[in-house]
Structure 1
Amino acid sequence: MSERSVLRLADDVALSVETWGPADAKVTVVLLHGWCLNRRTWHHQIAALQKMGEAAPRIIAFDARGHGRSGSTRLGSATLGQLGDDLSEILRRYAPEGPVVLAGHSMGGMTIMEYAHGHPEEFAQRVAGLLFVSTTAEGTAHTRYGLPARLATLMRAGETLGAGLLARSGAWRPHRAFLPALRPALRWLLFGDDYEDAALQMTMKSVGRTTLRSIGGFRTSIGEQQRLDTLARLGDVPAAVLVGDRDRLTPPPCAECIAEALPGTELTVFPGAGHMLILERHAEVSAILTTIVERAGASTSGERRRRTRRARKAATASPSGKAA
């Protein structure tokens, strides 16, 4: 059984949080969902983690601001940097001690990078494992939507214009009568060759629970993020990067650049899969995640202290005295 609670942040946004397992578990896993999605997209991985027996971790999953059951956000707070700060507060309140594994899908992976960038020493002290799924550290630099370059440029321009309009639409959510019309577009954009209809239905419902302000508002921050340098400073954290070769939003070059920047990272490319790997290839993703959790459980506090010292040195070396 899970426990549900609400975390009210400093700017009065209420985050809907769900936890499983004892607070004193050896490892805590935090699951971060993608843009326009919610925590339920991780349900396969949650079930797999609960089956780990005595090694089962404490699990924390929450809806990002403006998504799912969480409260709406102001437009000025619809940024990845704010999501990184929200993650820091989640850890402070729900997992104040012990090693942590962070798993992020799409925008969730970008949130992890922002947390590492904005809270480098805290990250080094706490994080013992990472899973990046269908994400990028370079904004939309590699995004072509699976289209020829000229068409991709036109589509990006239309997406940017539409996002600007939606961002000014407030806390309204897409009308349920409009969602069936989105089905073909979402299926093409987010899924690969083989998928379950239940996965597409869940994705559509998730989009329907996202505020229009969040659908449009986060687009600028997502498109502009550049965090390869941050990844390069993280050191020897056990990590894996997963991507589908039919991913039209964060194609394989995104994952390849992350794997090159983060030492020791294992890269897996899934043939025929799209952007929704945690639903399309849920068994494989779950197996990789449980392996990372097992490795995190075997990590030592000494290893984390060494990463902390490296984070301090990196911050000191920056001209501003902060991690760049």
Structure 2
Amino acid sequence: GLAAVLRHAPAFAEGARRGLTSALSPLLALGFYFRPLNFEIVQFHARLIQATPLSTYAGYFDDLLEHSELDAAGVLSRIPSYILVGERDTVAPVSQSRRLHKIWPGSYLQVLPESGHMPPLDAPGAVSTAIVRLVEEFRGEVSA
């Protein structure tokens, strides 16, 4: 996989990363965002991806292949949560979030209309509201 390419041909891997990410903004705009959005936000997202070292992606992709939230159901059941998913997310689709919601008792699922894979960038109000609600819920439990 990617880790092997990094080990055996690091210069090639880094050159490929730079080449692929140089055209990232238009691809992100087409594939990840579905509501009207300032293109500067898309460019910000692209810069974040471009600044991430290739070794980070290698570790992430390896973990992604073996990781399952379903394995953590017992632990998750004790943690209050909000699951926010973009209605048009093609990376982590609504069906995956519904499945997680089923195994996570006490979780709240909110599907964000016309949102894609990056709700913090394309639906920041909904994300902020969920965080505030979660903090308020936690404060209530602590003071009770």
Instruction: Provide the TM-score with structure 1 as the length reference.
Output: 0.39
| C-alpha contact (below 8 Å) 1:243/1:255 kept by paired residues | yes
Give the letter aligned to residue 266 of structure 1: Y
Alignment of structure 1 residues 33-182 onto 2, 5 Å: 163=2, 167-168=6-7, 169=10, 174-175=17-18, 179-182=21-24
Aligned residues: percent identity? Answer: 25
Structure 1 residue 172 displacement after superposition: 5.1
Check if 1:284 corresponds to 2:126: yes
Aligned partners of 2:44, 2:86: CA distance in 1, in Å? 19
| C-alpha contact (below 8 Å) 1:192/1:275 kept by paired residues | no
Q: 1:295 to 1:222 in 2, by over 3 A?
A: same
Name the SS of the counterpart of 1:186 in structure 2: helix
Partner of 1:185: 27
| Superimposed CA distance per residue, residues 176-227 of structure 1 (whole angstroms, 9 cap, x where no aligned partner) | x764422222223322233221221111110111112222332121122123
Structure 1 residue 245 displacement after superposition: 1.4
| C-alpha contact (below 8 Å) 1:179/1:208 kept by paired residues | yes
Name the SS of the counterpart of 2:121 in structure 1: helix
Partner of 2:81: 239
Aligned partners of 1:210, 1:233: CA distance in 2, in Å? 30
RMSD: 2.7
Partner of 1:198: 40
- Choose which of 71, 85, 105 in structure 2 pairs with 1:263: 105
Q: 1:189 to 1:216 in 2, by over 3 A?
A: farther
Aligned partners of 2:93, 2:5: CA distance in 1, in Å? 25
Q: 1:244 to 1:166 in 2, by over 3 A?
A: farther
Aligned partners of 1:207, 1:166: CA distance in 2, in Å? 19
| C-alpha contact (below 8 Å) 1:172/1:213 kept by paired residues | no
| Superimposed CA distance per residue, residues 242-275 of structure 1 (whole angstroms, 9 cap, x where no aligned partner) | 1011111000011111111110111000121100
Comparing both structures, which one devotes a greater share of its residues to strand? 1
Paired residues in the alignment total 140
| Superimposed CA distance per residue, residues 72-112 of structure 1 (whole angstroms, 9 cap, x where no aligned partner) | xxxxxxxxxxxxxxxxxxxxxxxxxxxxxxxxxxxxxxxxx
| Superimposed CA distance per residue, residues 156-188 of structure 1 (whole angstroms, 9 cap, x where no aligned partner) | xxxxx6x4566443795854x764422222223
Alignment of structure 1 residues 214-229 onto 2, 5 Å: 214-229=56-71
| C-alpha contact (below 8 Å) 2:3/2:55 kept by paired residues | no
Aligned partners of 1:232, 1:210: CA distance in 2, in Å? 32
Give the letter aligned to residue 278 of structure 1: P
Aligned partners of 1:203, 1:165: CA distance in 2, in Å? 27
Aligned partners of 1:248, 1:180: CA distance in 2, in Å? 22
| C-alpha contact (below 8 Å) 1:167/1:215 kept by paired residues | no
Structure 2 unpaired stretches of 5+: none
Structure 1 unpaired stretches of 5+: 1-160, 303-324
